[in-house]
Amino acid sequence: MSKTSDGRYDYILVGGGSSACVVAAGLVKCGASVLVLERGPAKANPIMHFPAGYMKFLAKDTYLAMHRTAPQPQLDGRGPIVPQGRVLGGGSTVNAMVYMRGQAADFDHWNELVTEGDDAWSYRDLLPYFKAQEDNDHLAGEYHGVGGPLKVSHLGHTSPMTRTYVKTLQDMGIPYNPDFNGESQFGVGFMQHTIDWRTRRRCSAVDAFLAPVMNDPLLTIVTGATVTAIRMEGDRAVGVDYVQGGDRKSAFADSEVILAAGAYQTPKLLMLSGIGPEDELARHDIAVKLALPGVGRNLQDHYECPVVATTKGSFGYYGQDRGWPMIKAGLQYLLFKSGPASTTGVETCAFHDPEGKSDRPTIQMFCVPTVYLDRDVMGTDPGDGVTINSLLLRPKSRGSVTLSSSDPFADPVVDTQIFSHPDDLRITMAGFRYARTVLAASPMRELIDREIFPGADVTSDEAIAAHCKRTVKTGYHPVGTCRMGRDDDPDAVLDSRLRVRGTRGLRVIDASLMPTIVSGNTNAAVLAAAAKATDLILP
């Protein structure tokens, strides 16, 4: 099979992120012609290949689409910014490279929600996909792969603060865990990252999956392309309309149109194309082609709250990104592939239940060895210090993505509904309190000067709740807005084979598909789900 001169392909992939890279490569290797349409650029700045390089772009919109969310009454009117990758490779090109699969129970729960009588989305089913993708630098056996395209390793550098944090938690009774992706997630340890241990460079989904087929004539990649609508003939998706460089174009798919634009843009495109909740489409005078009430619902993300302290010396990375320290770190990295530029800056975390109710962790607690706050949170200046962020792993709150207008270039309305379920705020506050006990425990306390944010005088439930509402930030893991589910689930957008219900030739393969969020960074789960999707797509 091959593409033709009239803009016809076997498959069209809308979006060029992590899942699209996996599926495009798999389809091309099986002889299918594939068009990938990505609205961002083809490449990021070369500095993004450095493990530390992503930090230069965290607050910029160079490779991130910055969505300002709907004001949240339960956050006293705050509307936190939620970014999404906008470059070939998506999040895998711009993220902090953490390789974290989640808990086995996460996928077993998917399976309960999606299938009946088999284990099509269980951990047992997905583990072979994780392993087949992975080339781990030091782990193998039952849980890990060696020789796959995705390079996974530990970082090339850790700070004194990181190592002290790991020791402190062990003294507090949290066991050392050498492998968060193994038998159990519980414990404290050093995170694995999608970094090639040989070169100490980022291994994005482009590097791992797309690069080997990049020059194959069956693959066409168009960047700077915004898809404006899915072309439907009756119930069948036959192509897409898109704009590139001001020119309006169309492309046609003989087999399938596959959506991989992410948890914000995928439901937006479905609704613009007349597929979604009837009332939402009517509100924007969009003709209903298929009423699917679940499109845009079920938005989930990880959210975290900080406690910040200054330190008695420089034990982390403050000031390492400018002047002579930056030059020295850059030279060390280029010459020896070591030093501060070979770290992401966030090297460790702990998984635990701060309420002590279960061995199944509810909080992922990060140690950031500097003073770090989100862009819309004021109150303290950068400096030598430490920030401990408690991230809620499985929020019960559910948000939504709706249209701001029928303009395909307008951002959707992202309504996060952070802390709208009381359990979410309660567990987050417990995580915050536990983080404070870490700062007060030895050997951590020997490095600490004082808590500066929110300050040691913030102790009441009301004051801590106010702090959490003021500072809560995204973990950059939006999922769930086109979730898969069983036939009797009225809000399920996809069936167990990721096909959009009520259509032919239309499928979703990105993080939108998750019925519930996984317990940890989401990129690894998206990659594995995309590998399974490839098997589901191929005849």
The catalytic residue positions are: 477
Measured from the Cβ of residue 380, the count of other Cβ atoms closer than 10 Å reads 17
Q: In angstroms, rounded to a whole number, what is the distance separating the alpha carbons of residues 277 and 290? A: 9
d(CA 385, CA 389): 13
CA distance to 66, 74, 80, per residue, from 413 (Å): 12, 17, 12
Nearest-angstrom CA–CA distance, 284 and 282: 5
What CA–CA distance (Å, rounded) separates 271 from 520? 29
Contact of 56 with 126, CB cutoff 8 Å: no
Report whether 308 contacts 384 (CB < 8 A): no
d(CA 80, CA 85): 17
User: What is the b/e burial string over 119-158, where b = at least 16 CB atoms within 10 angstroms of the residue's CB?
Assistant: ebbbbebbbebbbebbbbeebeeebbbeebbbbbbbbbbb
Indicate the Cα dihedral angle 437, 447, 53, 304, nearest 10°: 10
Rg (CA), the chain: 23
Among 53, 91, 46, 61, smallest CA distance to 345 is for 53
**176 DSSP β-pair partners:** 188
> Which residue blocks in 54-159 are alpha helix, DSSP H?
91-94, 104-114, 123-133
C-beta of residue 220 within 8 angstroms of C-beta of residue 9: yes
SS3 label, residue 350: strand
